[in-house]
Structure 1
């Protein structure tokens, strides 16, 4: 017998979920059938991971997101490309927005 199970998860509700539910979501995030590098899959896994870390660090008065592992790569990527809402385009091809011009 084969079964297909689909999960619909509202990440905005993560803070109100139980620890057990969040732990189950971590496994779902890690074993979802998306290809490695999939944007939405990565965003989901990161949001669940951040919720786990925030709960673990609860009550600790330190900034937890000032420095991120992806900061360097993002900085390098934005030197040569811009996100247009769907895909990365070469910086020379991207239309600059008002905040970028200022």
Structure 2
């Protein structure tokens, strides 16, 4: 699924554990309650995406674009966030920025 175009897709509760989504286009996608643990989302476009209650443990979000995304209550231990863009994102309860791994 590397580089896949999933813009505005409805992926509620989908199981994408360990998926290779590097460079994927997920702008405006609804990933509410999805399991993205261990997924490779480096360089992915997630601006405006809905990631509420999403499992993000061990996810690679390096250089991902999460501007204007909604990431409320996402479980995110050991997430990699170097270079991630998140201006305007709602990160309430997710600990995405200060709870991530190096």
Query: Same fold by TM-score, threshold 0.5 exceeded?
Result: no
Q: Which has the higher helix share?
A: 1
- TM-score, normalised to structure 1, is 0.25
- TM-score, normalised to structure 2, is 0.25
Bigger Rg, which one: 1
Q: Which has the higher strand share?
A: 1
